[in-house]
A and B are shown apart, each in its own frame.
Chain A
């Protein structure tokens, strides 16, 4: 059953109260079930529910926010009062924008039906099949099988009403051998697209193929980065460059370079909530309809994403990428997509004389925002390619590399774009990339 009527009743109760000034509420509800396994047995099995009601009060060019997760009258009164008190204590902000009135949103169906269909035994059964296959290969398995449902409602005293609910599911696993490991993951809002045996087989193949890894020296190599590794690089573009606030403050790798060719002309990167794999909201946290924004088209810097405040600064309209107000991050793209190319992974490997195949990166972090230099480790399946063939696994390496520089050395682009979730954050849809002269700065012990 949809949560919308319950949300609407609560919203009307708050926005309909006698007040001075305007009021906005954001309601979020999450319900997640997650079965975790390690050493081929279930280690944790949880179902967690959470909810939050955030209230923002605007009065005389001041704003205050407060939140709670109990919806009785006394707590609602107290939360409104806390928001009002906080607003009253601030200096006037002449740039504070009034709340939006009613808006139109194209609905975005993202509910896997039937809702929350997986019983605990079904998830354990799916995991059992995967770890049984691992046991036959003398591998140990770890991972998660999760599914969840979330809902977000936004309402205000000016008549705005926005509501979205969706589902999510992930099967992620690492197969561990004596001296190697392999990882694979599948994630989608539609649980019927999740195939644990396929994911498990991919992880096992990587663990087996990378047994007895050999050491190689750090240096510049041609790399084939699978989508999970590419997503790690793109995440830093999203956080450190594609938002208007970083751009306006000169902290973005795009600052002062709009309209110029920045990366390989075969690369196009956009924010697209309408992508069939996206799990995002069709509106942002100011109530603006979320637009599809091409950020880099054929290598040319074309746009950043805006909320209403940064849009006003540049005399343009919001693109619908606001976070809850107020915030220190500014607008951010939350549904990043890199358009696919025309190469298969097999073609990328067969055309490589000497190079590395990287399954995923671990613990990447930003060093310098303008060249977008980042560092991180390879993990769970790194392979040496020679004369067009995968020869053996290699011990993991640390890279220290400018993303802008790397995206200027593209050899080929994968034909399949896949949804993956980087270590620190949002879902990103991207293909594999083959890049020359990718810089590895040091080695590790395994």
Chain B
């Protein structure tokens, strides 16, 4: 791999590049889904390829290819330089990267059991066993149980002398049951929606998720939702569970704190951000109860790594500290715009894509409340769990989320089950209304595996740790009678 890297870096230098890097990545994957008693989907296999990034004349060029040969690397690196040279004709400021330490190192996700060492039959047996429990009620029309594993070995070489050999591993599993009766369609998932819980861990995660043990409850809740009361419309106090808070953090704090969005780079597609530089380190984003910590070193986090795709070492830093907006997610290109060095949040979707600023692991720091006390302290409200739908405007102000299930809170007690639960708010107003966060014993990092950004579209994964939290006087039941 070092020889391939040297070809790219030498070719780039010969074409006048002031900076170049090459990422060569080999990925092995195994995604298995059992749906209604048969193999619903299966993706097993591997990919190999490289991406070369150069700066010529102060502008970027990027090429990628699955053909990892000397000739292809040489040809395409020259082409990347030609792309950059063309881009340099329409620039008003040269790209300058923040200074970074040169690293020559390796790093690997710590795992107990390599997921690819576990027989596929064992994995399928568990998925079919769960499927049997989920489909035991005829009102369940769709049962889907999923398991997914990824091992990615990445070699990064830069023209500054960095050489990083990094192996990232992640595992995950989950399931959903969809109940149908006439015009009612209700879904319940475990441990969370959209495929389940994923972490940068080995196969040891799977038994820890207690999948079979929760399948019957999940099925029964899906069926019970068919005849549950709709979430009432109006304003009330809202308690969110950790899985829903994970997406709330992601959409309303994670994306707005991406500095490339703030600077307008994503304007045409994903949009911009209200967290503009004049608000930096002054703006009250949330109440004092809220601290949101970015952490690329979080054990088990999906965005936990040794080094990002700029070769910057993993870091931990606050985005919101006791309610005040104090941090951006940055890369080497944009960090200087706020007078900083990179926070190491630059990641690409595999070898084929240009690295972008991506949301790091970003978590709500736990408070001190016991969940039982939080419910007891709430006179009138709704407790909502597990994301079902999400939508937010392109500046990240107005959001509306839907949850799979909810429960009334009346006089400090959980009451009737609620279906069609939604809530809506404006990001800073909502976070400022947070007055209670549960303690560490309720806190878990929840994985998001479908974060989309960029043109062409790229997918990234990250975790958001959260314990249940309360928000006062929130609009719920949007559109319900």
Residues of chain A in range 375-401 having any CB-CB distance to chain B below 8 Å: 375-377, 379, 396, 398, 400
- Determine, out of A44-52, A272-280, A281-289, A336-344, the stretch whose residues face the partner at the interface: A44-52
Choose the segment among A6-14, A81-89, A157-165, A427-435 that binds chain B (4+ C-beta atoms closer than 8 Å). A81-89
Contacts of A172 in B (CB 8 A): 268
Q: Is B397 in contact with A124, judged by CB distance below 8 angstroms?
A: no
Question: Pick the contact of A326 from B39, B45, B91 — CB < 8 Å?
Answer: B39
A327 touches which of B41, B45, B47, B83 (Cβ 8 Å): B41
Residues in B whose Cβ lies below 8 Å from that of A142:
264-265, 267-268
Q: Which of B128, B263, B265, B394 has the most CB of A within 10 A?
A: B394
In the complex the two chains form, what is the Cα distance from A91 to B38 in whole Å?
Answer: 8
> Do residues B89 and A48 form an inter-chain contact, with CB atoms below 8 A?
no
* Contact code string B414-450 (vs A, CB < 8 Å = 1, else 0): 0000001010101000000000000000000000000
Of A107-115, A411-419, A437-445, which binds chain B?
A437-445
Q: Count the A-B residue pairs with Cβ separation under 8 angstroms: how many?
A: 253
Is the pair A66, B44 in contact by a Cβ cutoff of 8 Å? Answer: yes
A327 to B32, CA, bound (A): 10
The answer to whether A43 and B424 have CB atoms under 8 Å apart is: no
Shortest distance from the beta carbon of B272 to any chain A beta carbon, whole Å: 9
Q: How many chain B residues have a CB neighbour from A under 8 Å?
A: 83
The answer on a CB contact under 8 Å between A362 and B393 is yes
A residues near B267, Cβ cutoff 8 Å: 38, 142, 174, 176, 181
Residue of A nearest to B66 (CB): A69
Interface size of A in residues (CB-CB distance below 8 Å): 91
A47 touches B83 (CB 8 A): yes
B-side contacts of A398, CB under 8 Å: 391, 393, 398, 400, 424
Question: Which residues of the other chain, B, contact A353 by a CB distance below 8 angstroms?
Answer: none
**Which of the segments B15-23, B179-187, B374-382 contacts the partner chain?**
B179-187
A426 to chain B, nearest CB (A): 13
Contact between B59 and A250 (Cβ–Cβ < 8 Å)? no
Report the minimal beta-carbon distance from B17 to chain A, rounded to whole angstroms.
13
Q: Which residues of A contact B126 (CB under 8 A)?
A: none
CB distance from A145 to the nearest CB of B (A): 10
Q: Which of A68, A249, A442 contacts B475 (CB 8 A)?
A: A442
Q: Can you give 30 A-B contacts (C-beta < 8 A)?
A: A42-B90, A44-B60, A44-B62, A45-B61, A46-B83, A47-B63, A47-B76, A48-B51, A69-B47, A70-B66, A89-B120, A124-B86, A124-B90, A144-B269, A146-B456, A176-B267, A249-B142, A327-B41, A328-B40, A362-B393, A363-B393, A366-B389, A371-B183, A375-B391, A375-B478, A396-B393, A441-B424, A442-B424, A443-B398, A444-B393
Binding site for A on B (CB under 8 A): 33, 35, 38-49, 51, 59-67, 76, 79-80, 82-87, 89-93, 120-121, 124, 128, 141-142, 144, 178, 180, 183-185, 263-269, 271, 274, 352-354, 388-395, 397-398, 400, 402, 420, 422, 424, 426, 455-456, 475, 478-479
- 3 smallest CB-CB distances across A and B, nearest first, come from A120-B86, A444-B398, A142-B267
